[in-house]
């Protein structure tokens, strides 16, 4: 076996998975607060464009990523306004958000098509990156890969260990009870939506800043939908989102490399593979039917303050 090939495949898997990690965490924090946002795809592509445009203007990576996060947050705030204040149906609003984000980014991004973003520097971690095979694959990446893992850890800590996280989970579990205990369901959900929008925006910007680095209309190519499925797959737990995203990234990359290994399966079957894996995983989870893996109790339900 060619170790350098294995190493480069592993490296590619991490790069392919990172946008899904960010977007999945973004969807997760919203869903734990009880908000079903089908607009993740729209948030991602708007973040992708905002990050790309900032990088082209000559700003450093950090500023580009912040711009992407703000763009995602701003678009998510529109969703929050419609769903939380005006009681719009969240499913329809989420779908509209996806279409709106795709259209807006195509319009505003037309001028950037064909340009290339500057190369992002790689942070090589000393010593660890010298390890055979895994060294290069795992410890020689752009800063965003490390940030994605840090974010998952941070989100886990927030949900599990802080009072604010406990309140957020309570709002997602039973918004009527949370309201009667005196928590601001709307305020907490607004913050969760804004934070989720920021994470989805960063996930989108990873595509244009690192992965390709180009901007093309509709380049998120369904990753926002996969992120939503990942959250269910991960039974609403941050570290499982990473596991799910890497599994999904692996299948995507293996599909690309399988032809190099001389496996003669029609390419269409291989393209279907990641989605089949997702569906199978979802079926397996719901078939087990454990209580602890259930969705937040108030997920997707509209909350109105009763008179």
Please report, as ranges, the residues that interact with other proteins according to CB under 8 A. 161-163, 166-167, 169-170, 173-174, 176-178, 180-183, 291-292, 294, 296-297, 307
Q: Report the nearest approach of other proteins to the CB of residue 161 (Å).
A: 8
Q: Report the nearest approach of other proteins to the CB of residue 48 (Å).
A: 35
- Choice between 132 and 182, CB closer to other proteins: 182
- Choice between 176 and 256, CB closer to other proteins: 176
- Choice between 4 and 307, CB closer to other proteins: 307
- Choice between 180 and 271, CB closer to other proteins: 180
- Choice between 248 and 303, CB closer to other proteins: 303
Q: How far apart are CA 70 and CA 195, in angstroms?
A: 10
Indicate the pairing of strand 123-124 with strand 140-141: antiparallel
DSSP codes, the chain: --HHHHHHHHHHHHHHHHHHHHHHHHHHHHHHTT---TTHHHHHHHHHHHHHHHHHTT--HHHHHHHHHHHHHHHHHHHHIIIIIS---HHHHHHHHHHHHHHHHHHHHGGGTT-BPPPPPPEEPTTGGGSTTHHHHHHEE-HHHHHHHHHHHHHHHHHHH-HHHHHHHHHHH-HHHHHHTT--HHHHHHHHHHHHHHHHHHHHHHIIIIIS-B--TTTTTTHHHHHHHHHHHTTT-HHHHHHHHHHHHHHHHHHHHTTTTT----HHHHHHHHHHHHHHHHHHHHHH--GGGSPPTTTT-------
Q: Report the nearest approach of other proteins to the CB of residue 182 (Å).
A: 4
Q: Report the nearest approach of other proteins to the CB of residue 293 (Å).
A: 10
Q: Report the nearest approach of other proteins to the CB of residue 244 (Å).
A: 21
Q: How far apart are CA 50 and CA 198, in angstroms?
A: 12
Q: C-alpha distances in angstroms, 264 versus 93, 259, 268, 297? A: 43, 7, 11, 46
- Choice between 139 and 236, CB closer to other proteins: 236
- Choice between 182 and 266, CB closer to other proteins: 182
Q: Report the nearest approach of other proteins to the CB of residue 11 (Å).
A: 38
Q: Report the nearest approach of other proteins to the CB of residue 90 (Å).
A: 18
Q: Report the nearest approach of other proteins to the CB of residue 240 (Å).
A: 16
- Choice between 181 and 280, CB closer to other proteins: 181
């Amino acid at each position: 076996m060619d170790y350098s090939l294995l190493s480069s495949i592993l490296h590619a898997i991490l790069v392919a998975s990172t946008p899904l990690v960010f977007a999945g965490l973004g969807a997760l924090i919203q869903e734990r607060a009880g908000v079903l946002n089908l607009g993740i795809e729209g948030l991602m592509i708007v973040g992708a464009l905002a990050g790309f445009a900032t990088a082209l203007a000559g700003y450093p990576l950090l500023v580009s990523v912040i711009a992407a996060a703000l763009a995602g947050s701003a678009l998510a705030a529109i969703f929050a306004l419609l769903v939380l204040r005006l009681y719009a149906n969240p499913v329809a609003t989420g779908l509209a958000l996806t279409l709106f984000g795709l259209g807006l980014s195509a319009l505003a991004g037309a001028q950037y098509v064909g340009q290339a973003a500057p190369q992002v520097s790689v942070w090589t971690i000393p010593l660890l990156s010298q390890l055979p095979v895994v060294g290069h694959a795992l410890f020689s990446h752009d800063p965003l890969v490390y940030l994605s893992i840090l974010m998952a850890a941070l989100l886990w800590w927030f949900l599990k260990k802080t009072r604010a996280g406990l309140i957020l989970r309570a709002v997602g579990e039973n918004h009527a009870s949370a309201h009667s205990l005196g928590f601001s369901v709307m305020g907490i959900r607004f913050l969760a939506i804004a934070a989720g929008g920021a994470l989805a925006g960063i996930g989108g910007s990873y595509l244009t800043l690192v992965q390709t680095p180009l901007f093309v209309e509709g380049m998120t190519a369904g990753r926002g939908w996969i992120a939503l499925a990942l959250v269910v797959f991960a039974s609403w737990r941050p570290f499982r989102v990473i596991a799910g995203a890497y599994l999904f990234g692996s299948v995507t990359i293996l599909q690309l490399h399988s032809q190099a290994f001389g496996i003669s399966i029609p390419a269409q079957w291989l393209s279907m593979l990641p989605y089949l894996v997702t569906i199978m995983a979802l079926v397996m989870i719901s078939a087990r039917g454990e209580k602890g893996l259930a969705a937040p109790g108030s997920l997707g339900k509209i909350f109105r303050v009763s008179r």
